Amino acid sequence: MPHVFLPDLRLHYSEQGPKDGPVLVLAHALGADLSIWDAVCARLPANLRVIRYDHRGHGASDVPKAPYAMGAMIRDAEGLLDHLKVKDAAFCGLSVGGLVAQGLAVKRLDLIRTLILSNTAARIGHESLWEKRIAAAESSSKAALVQETLERWFPRQDLSQPRIQTVKAVLDRTALDGWIGTMHAIKGTDFYTPTSGLRLSTLGIASSDDASTPPDLVRETAALVPGSQFHLIRRAGHLSCVDQPEEFATTVTDFLRSTGHMS
């Protein structure tokens, strides 16, 4: 799988579809990696060029020492798209990936033509929440961090289900520096004002059982961008792309067709 060599780290990414196809970029959640999109990617139209990447500190990207800044995470996405000479992409970010999506759209509107904000918000949680989570991650075991994350992301679900065990294996592999470093980036991020200034086609996707970024929060975030659309996925928790990949892929595809991003 390829890496792009950015000034301060190597970023891992993958591509599928024709090089001259309309581009969809997928950015994953905290502690995860690009594999959380596997089931969605298998259901996307073949004429899309789909680019996924691992945030710094995650997957097969390099793991700088914590803490990270949101500005650095946005620069990573910017560096990847510049390296691939991509313009006018649709950018779909889930949770912290959605923060990167908003920040990149604000910074480089030439790169992003269409925004998909999945299970995310202009601000995710309060500083005190992230301080508590960082302190807990620093003092307790990695197993405890993974377990409480799974319980929060997949509420009332049997965690032994194969698709959840696959996510668990990813979380188990994620470096603690990557996880904690990214929590610091989320803690300091509030995009309410910059996102309110965005003018581009935008879709918010929320899940009925997402306690981390509840439907009303996602709806309010998408509504910061005039003319935005909103879709609620039922029977899904924070990782809507894992819980309901068919509906996720259909929702994204229908939206991209409705905006003229793809045929």
Ligand X SMILES: O=C(O)CC1=CCC(=O)O1
Of the pair 84, 180, the CB lying nearest ligand X is at 180
Of the pair 170, 262, the CB lying nearest ligand X is at 170
Of the pair 84, 170, the CB lying nearest ligand X is at 170
Residue nearest ligand X, Cβ-based: 95
Quote the least distance from Cβ 152 to ligand X, whole Å. 5
Interface positions with ligand X (CB under 6 A)? 29-30, 95-96, 124, 149, 152, 186, 212, 238
Of the pair 189, 201, the CB lying nearest ligand X is at 189
Quote the least distance from Cβ 13 to ligand X, whole Å. 18
Of the pair 210, 247, the CB lying nearest ligand X is at 210
Query: What angle, 0 to 180 degrees and rounded to 10, lies between the N-to-C axes of helices 176-187 and 142-153?
Result: 50
Quote the least distance from Cβ 122 to ligand X, whole Å. 13
Quote the least distance from Cβ 258 to ligand X, whole Å. 27
What amino acid is encoded at 137 in this protein? A
Quote the least distance from Cβ 124 to ligand X, whole Å. 5
| Ordered strands of the 89-94 beta sheet | 3-5, 10-16, 49-53, 23-27, 89-94, 112-118, 201-207, 229-233
Of the pair 231, 238, the CB lying nearest ligand X is at 238
Quote the least distance from Cβ 119 to ligand X, whole Å. 8
